[in-house]
Structure 1
Amino acid sequence: MRIRSAAAAAVLVMGASLLGAPQAVAVDDAVALTATFNDPAGSPAQQDAIRNQLISLINRTPAGAEINGSVYLFTDGGVSGALVAAKQRGVKVKLVVDGDAVADVDANGKATGSEYSMLAAATGLGTDRTADSWVLACPANRGCVGNRALGGSGDTGAINHNKFFLFSKAGSTDDVVFQTSANLTTSQRRNLFNNAVTIPDAGSGLYASYRAYWQDLVSSGSSGPGLATYYKTQDAGAYKTYFFPRQEKAGATFDNDPGTDTVVSLLNNVDCAGGATRIRIGMYAFTRVQIADKLVALKRAGCGVELLHDGEDGHLGSAVRASIAGNLTYAARCAGTAVDGSGASRSIGIHSKYLLIEGTYLGGANRKLVFTGSHNYTFPNLRANDETLLKIDNAAVYDAFRANFESIRSGPHCAAW
């Protein structure tokens, strides 16, 4: 993997390295602000970089501290084993998973690989929420908060699509947030590019924002009918959280109200005057044409706009494709192949979910912003699901994400169109 700076190399290749030059672990085991990226076509360590960063945080959580998590799918035995070991040494481990993560076999009788049964057992975390540790599954066919079905072919209702963990203490650092785009599955490590951030709260209020949302997931997921809309935002120092689902205004339909599309609203804050502003997007699923139309408008206004999207059929909507075709600075379909040591080939795509803005934003010049989380650019992600979008206003984090974007862009797994 070729990148442009030693600092970026530490972040991209090592995955869990601290931002800046590689450092030895401090004597007091402090957790630093970290951007982590996997390389699904790389070495085992590069494939597992995000998962290993999460396991490292779990392993560094001391007795008496608490881990809170909310995840969609969970088939990773390494992570589940680390969580159970944490419980056994006196950590309080409380985990929320989507209902889709529960079944041991699917509708066709095929094993899912789910870790839920192991976690729910008394020898795992258990399910007794009066205990110090437990796992909670959201109700079937809805999220823990979101309960809306948008209708249409294949819509099975809302899901808890979140992918975050909270640590009241990790190493010597209090209140740490771990947010990733990756589900806890083997295919996410081995077949798809993903991203993650590890953020010490450091007085920002970010941990408290996530913790309040996590508690709402627990409260709503354990009782009550759920909600058609939940949308909450909170500024937290250099960060801002956006929690979904967000409902359209009265009289509109879920797919025709760009005024309540959070990503469109963020892009409305971009100023392209002078031609110096750059927008870079790495996205798994992109079907909201209003976002596409806004990106085209920004390109015409003088911004540079680049997109890396996943190449699986249906992940780029037909209306989106028609809108952006020939109208962005650069667009690439990520659907390459990699060959394992055994000679077996597999598809390589992108599952990351990030928007990078470099330039003028809300009237301020020379901004470097990252928006990431679990949020795909689809209507279920906006209107139905339990989802998180996180704004990060930090130049070092931005530079790491930009280096990741450029590395994927220039690699063999994405082709311009």
Structure 2
Amino acid sequence: MRIIFVEEAIGRKEIPLYALLVMKESIWSPLKIPVYRAFWICAFLSNLGTWIQDVAASWVMTHLSTSPLVISLLSFTSSLPVVFLSIPAGFVADQGHRRRILLAAQSGMFLSAAVLAFLVWRGQVTESSLLFLSLVMGIGFALTNPAFQSVLTDLVPTDSQAQAVLVYYMGINITRVLGPTVGGGILSGFGPEVAFFVNSLSFLGLILFFWRWPVKESIEEKKEVVWTQEEWKFLFSFHNMKLWVEIFIVTFFASSLWALYPTRGRVELGLSSLQYGSLLGFLGLGACFSAVYSDKIMRPNKTDLSLAGAYVVYAVGLFLMAVAPSFIFMCEAMFFAGIGWLILATLMNMSSRQLTGKSHLKATMLGVFLAVFYAGMAFGAVSWGTFARFSSSSKALLVAAVGLSLVGFYKFMRAKA
């Protein structure tokens, strides 16, 4: 599972998501710029391939093992590298080496997906090899994300950057719906090896783009920057530490869905490959719902209230998944979770940017946020998998739902106080 956060920073000013949605200029205008259009298409195909692989990987793992703990390790191994590599990757990107990082990381993910496709085709894939290749994919994502964030607004003029962010965001939400559904169809009609092969091909577009990307010298080659003591103290000040702790706790509870939905859907409910693939499609529909109404539910002057609501809505999704007796209830659970997920992930990202908006180490600061976010995801995944191993996935999801609800109600009361 991979999560891509878009660059909301326009120039030196942080532009909230709701502001992007009310722009009077045509949101499609950036697609008239050839270099941006090429980037958007390549990124769209890559994100589509990622969702296809997510469905196929968890499907294969549920056939290799029925243990909730082993299945949850798939989420753990893909998230863990971000915890340790996102900060150094961001720092290297801030030195002006984004292009090299992106090429190396995308090439590594291409090879990993290709090897996985080969192993599944030959019937030689094992739990260990699947987890190892998932770890390699996680390393590629950890190296890519901080640098990737700053590329988007370099491709268009200043007056088109707001629309460029929005169009890119729309593409991501479309792949959230199409990718899992297409993945389920490929699983049903051709098998998981084809899904992995399709994902490997999806990286070729971005590899070619970054290879040919006409980067200006003033953008790519920067003077060496250093991490000053003042920035270090600010980053880990008491005020900021409260945000990091909240992000860790929330993602710890939220990770239960990503870790246990394969067990609930494939092992316990016995869903078909097409039904299983469509689960993440309903998560994407929920995310699209949040994006469409983001001007009403993600206002920057009510960030705490919006986050509190997102935590509770996501908890509703966890509860429905815990008690779901059938495919229809699982779809409803994923839809609610998708609504809450997009809101909490976006607003946490924006809150982190506002704290570090004055720093010249943008990618490094973003790396800190990603490290905290994925630390909760990684350690949460293995914790909930262990809980389910010795109890049940339903009880684990119920406990996570209660915990996240309490965090949401506490934040609501603090915001109203």
TM exceeds 0.5?
A: no
Higher helix share: 2
TM-score by length of 2: 0.23
Name the structure, 1 or 2, with higher relative contact order (CA <8 Å, separation 6+). 2
TM-score by length of 1: 0.23
